[in-house]
């Protein structure tokens, strides 16, 4: 078996990704059958749970918000081939900064406090990724491993804070922070519903990232470094500086997701703030083929599967982990589909 490069026809560029999704659903159907339930009924419940009502739709968009941020973080990093697998940690650092500054330490009106917290959090998240980026450029340390390990270190650090300096005295002993003050909160987008300003900010961020990648000098440099670092260096592009800036932006975006979750939704910081948003962000980014605007769509899709699966799981006895299985499967099948659009498979 061998691959021959080709340029796929427009029909193929649509067909293969569709086939990838079909394969994903087929695999999920198989697992649902194992549970002794009809797959079609389950998929219907998932769909209704994700988009069957205004409540469901808003819930999906709410869940999509942090995924857009982490998805963008991964997109920016992966475009420059900086393998940031640490969006989880950067998101938590953003949340930590939010509760450090937002629970009364800084008294300021909302118009000042909200941007202040956001900027401080983005800086912190960016710096958290700058470390691995510098270790990569200075010492040749693979950033995959360092960013992965940092996820565990940061989570322990958060645990330390929540049982120590940031612990809510009124929290009945639970490891949780105090709630952020009203001036630090992000307003709701729909009165009385959970969807908050974070979603709008996420859309704006996607637009900004798209503009930056497609039109700015830095975006050009990032893509050049990502596609061929040796050629970029030869042409005079300052590769190490570009990677450092990429780290700051990528980490900052993920951290902003943490701010949004605390200030917009949860109100305080707990150890289960993120059920793996950082890792799922990789799936979101790859399903979007690393396109910033595609990230919005794929985040909503992935969020829909999660929200829908939760609802479905409550109704029938299929574990909600089916959502994780489906997103992971989609990641792999989509990757395969892309290979098929770029190469023709020849058997012997």
Site string for other proteins, 15-54 (x = CB under 8 A): ----------------x--xx-------------------
| Nearer to other proteins among residue 105 and residue 230 (C-beta) | 230
Element (H, E) at 178: none
- Distance (Å) of CA 79 to CA 143, 240, 271: 15, 15, 30
* 8 A C-beta contact, residue 148 and residue 279: no
* Least distance CB 47 / other proteins (angstroms): 19
Residue 339 binds other proteins, judged by CB under 8 A: yes
Exposed/middle/buried for residue 226 (C-beta within 10 Å: 0-12, 13-18, 19+) = buried
Residue 55 binds other proteins, judged by CB under 8 A: no
Neighbours of 186 (CB within 10 A): 23
Residues in 168-207 at the binding interface with other proteins, rule: CB under 8 A:
none
Dihedral of the CA atoms 315, 318, 324, 329 (nearest 10)?
A: -130
* 8 A C-beta contact, residue 156 and residue 271: no
Residue 231 binds other proteins, judged by CB under 8 A: yes
d(CA 267, CA 260): 10
| Nearer to other proteins among residue 115 and residue 227 (C-beta) | 227
Options 29, 58, 208, 328; binder of other proteins; rule CB under 8 A: 328
Residue 163 binds other proteins, judged by CB under 8 A: yes
- Residue 344 DSSP SS3: strand
Q: Is the dihedral of CA 118, 120, 125, 126 positive or negative?
A: positive
Options 8, 218, 271, 289; binder of other proteins; rule CB under 8 A: 218
| Nearer to other proteins among residue 55 and residue 152 (C-beta) | 152
d(CA 348, CA 335): 23
Q: Is the dihedral of CA 88, 91, 97, 102 positive or negative?
A: negative
* Least distance CB 331 / other proteins (angstroms): 4
| Nearer to other proteins among residue 122 and residue 148 (C-beta) | 148
| Nearer to other proteins among residue 200 and residue 328 (C-beta) | 328
Catalog residues that contact other proteins under the rule CB under 8 A.
1-3, 31, 34-35, 83, 85, 135, 139-142, 144-146, 148-153, 156-157, 159-160, 163-164, 215-218, 220, 223-224, 227-228, 230-238, 279, 282-283, 286, 317, 319, 321-322, 324-325, 327-329, 331-332, 335-336, 339, 346, 348
């Amino acid at each position: 078996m061998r691959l021959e490069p080709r340029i796929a026809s427009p029909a193929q560029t649509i067909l293969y990704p569709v086939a990838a999704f079909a394969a994903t659903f087929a695999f999920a159907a198989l697992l649902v059958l194992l549970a002794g339930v009809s797959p079609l009924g389950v998929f219907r419940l998932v769909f209704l749970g994700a988009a069957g009502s205004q409540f469901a739709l808003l819930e999906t968009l709410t869940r999509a918000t942090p995924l857009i941020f982490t998805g963008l973080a991964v997109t920016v990093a992966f475009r420059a081939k900086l393998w940031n697998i640490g969006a989880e940690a950067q998101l938590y650092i953003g949340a930590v900064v939010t509760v450090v500054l937002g629970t009364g330490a800084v008294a300021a009106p909302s118009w000042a406090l909200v941007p202040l917290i956001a900027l401080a959090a983005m800086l912190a998240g960016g710096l958290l990724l700058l470390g691995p980026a510098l270790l990569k450029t200075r010492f040749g340390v693979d950033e995959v491993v360092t960013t992965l390990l940092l996820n565990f270190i940061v989570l322990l650090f958060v645990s330390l804070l929540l049982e120590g300096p940031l612990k809510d005295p009124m929290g009945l002993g639970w490891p949780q922070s105090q709630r952020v003050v009203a001036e630090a909160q992000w307003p709701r987008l729909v009165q009385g519903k959970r969807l908050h300003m974070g979603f709008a900010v996420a859309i704006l961020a996607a637009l900004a990232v798209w503009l930056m990648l497609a039109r700015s000098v830095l975006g050009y440099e990032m893509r050049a470094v990502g596609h061929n670092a040796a050629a970029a260096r030869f042409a005079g592009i300052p590769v190490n500086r570009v990677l450092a800036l990429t780290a700051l932006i990528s980490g900052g975006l993920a951290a902003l997701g943490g701010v949004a979750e605390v200030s917009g939704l949860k109100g305080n910081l707990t150890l289960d703030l993120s059920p793996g948003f950082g890792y799922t962000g990789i799936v979101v980014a790859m399903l979007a083929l690393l396109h910033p605007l595609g990230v919005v769509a794929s985040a909503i899709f992935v969020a829909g599967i999660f929200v829908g699966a939760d609802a479905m799981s409550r109704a029938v006895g299929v574990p909600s982990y089916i959502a994780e299985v489906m997103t992971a499967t989609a990641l792999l099948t989509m990757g395969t589909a892309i290979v098929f659009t770029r190469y023709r498979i020849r058997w012997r």
